[in-house]
Amino acid sequence: MDLSRASHSGDGRPSRGLGTERHRLTAALHRGAVQLMHLVYPPVCAGCGIMTGQAAALCPGCWETVRFIERPYCEITGLPFSHDRGEGLVSPEAIANPPLYHRARAAVFHDGVARKLVHGLKYSDRADLAAMMAAWMVRAGRDVIDDSDVIVAVPLHRHRLFTRRYNQSAELARALAVRTGKPFLAGALRRVRATRQQVGLGLRARQDNVRGAFALPPAQAQRMLGLKVLLVDDVFTTGSTVEAATRALLRGGARQVDVLTFARVASPGEETLYA
């Protein structure tokens, strides 16, 4: 076969056939690299560590402990109703004390293996979990994702960021941006005041702890003007943190703020147990 005729078209440009072969070769090399990596580092369950058929997955036992948050729930706070009141309803709590954010959504309850995933991402350098967790968040928050212009993460103070080396909420936001195509504005929101950890604090103490903790730098406020923001965090407990962050975003010029978290605490009375 005449290789020159096979690899170039009549005007001297490379033919599509050559490009296709290169693509197939690249794909084959990628598959081979993945298979080799799985031989050296077999994929394991993200919850318990036993071997699984694929990476970023759960074994059947861990999967059974996941409680996904489904409708019907309050269309504002996203908290499920204790009994079926029908879809599209708003809870009395949201009517009596409307939050600053427009809507809040979460993928799962913060218990079982979901709590392990949160702790792995947050405290154990398991940034690889963010992609799987973000996939669950997309499923739960499609309505608020579609209605947003940009994604912003709840920030850590620079001192805590230095200790942890990365912000778990930013990792989730970055993974969401990859999956949804929405731009992630890293660094748009700043935590300007160091706060103590929320673990062990009740509702009022949490609110006091994060009051005035967030702000938008002037340069970032120009970027935020008139936009619908999707605010991302790992866990929704009492809502104190996202309320304080929402206040800063609205003051900075955002038109609307929706909240999307991976998990939320099932009972408001459990706020003293979780970060």
From residue 82, how far is each of 73, 133, 203, 264, 266 by CA, in Å?
9, 25, 21, 15, 11
Query: Does residue 225 contact residue 238 with C-beta atoms inside 8 Å?
Result: no
* Number of structural domains found in the chain: 2
Shared domain check, 126 and 7: no
Q: Is the pLDDT of residue 180 over 90?
A: yes
CB 188 within 8 A of CB 220: yes
- Do 36 and 111 sit in the same domain of this protein? no
In angstroms, rounded to a whole number, what is the distance separating the alpha carbons of residues 135 and 137?
A: 5
Q: Residue 249: exposed, middle, or buried by beta-carbon count in 10 A (0-12, 13-18, 19+)?
A: buried
* H or E element, residue 232: strand 228-236
Instruction: Please state whether the peptide bond connecting residue 98 to the residue before it is cis, i.e. omega within 30 degrees of 0.
Output: no
Same domain, 25 and 157: no
pLDDT score at 11: 52
- 141-148: average pLDDT: 98
SS3 153: strand
Same domain, 25 and 159: no
Q: What is the mean pLDDT of residues 137-160?
A: 94
- Residue recorded with tokens 């079926």: 84
Rounded to the nearest integer, the mean pLDDT of the chain is 83
Question: Hey, what amino acid is at 127?
Answer: A
How far is 262 from 10, CA to CA, in rounded Å? 55
**pLDDT tens digits along 250-267:** 999 999 999 999 999 986
Any domain includes 265: yes
Q: Cα 89–91–97 angle (5° rounding)?
A: 135
Please tell me whether residues 76 and 34 are part of one structural domain.
no
Is 150 a domain residue? yes
Which residues are bridge partners to 105 per DSSP? 260
Beta bridge partners of 256: 228
- R_g over Cα of the chain: 22
User: What whole-number distance in Å separates Cα of residue 180 and Cα of residue 150?
Assistant: 11
Q: What is the CATH number of the domain that holds 162?
A: 3.40.50
- Do 124 and 12 lie in one domain? The reply is no
For the stretch 87-112, pLDDT in tens is 679 999 999 999 999 999 999 999 99
Quote the DSSP letter at residue 14. B
Q: Looking at the predicted structure, is the pLDDT value of residue 7 above 50?
A: no
- My answer on whether 245 and 151 are in the same domain is yes
Q: Are residues 95 and 24 in the same domain?
A: no
Provide the residue range defining the domain that includes 265.
Answer: 69-270
Angstrom distance (rounded) from CA 15 to CA 20: 9
| CA 86 to chain CA mean position, Å | 27
Residue 51 falls inside a structural domain: no
Residue 52 forms part of a structural domain: no
Residues 77 and 143 in one domain: yes
Do 75 and 23 lie in one domain? The reply is no
Query: How far apart, in whole angstroms, are the C-alpha atoms of residue 10 and residue 8?
Result: 7
Q: Is residue 275 part of a domain?
A: no
Contact (CB, 8 A) for 173 and 258:
no
**Which residues share a beta bridge with 151?**
184, 230
Structural domain includes residue 50: no
> What confidence category does residue 42 fall into, taking pLDDT thresholds of 50, 70 and 90?
confident
Between CA 100 and CA 269 the distance in angstroms is: 21
Whether residue 111 contacts residue 67, with contact meaning beta carbons closer than 8 Å, is answered with: yes
Q: Is residue 48 part of a domain?
A: no
For residues 10 and 136, membership in a common domain is answered with no
With beta carbons less than 8 A apart as the criterion, state whether 74 and 92 touch. Answer: no
Does one domain contain both 245 and 147? yes
Residue 88 lies in a domain: yes
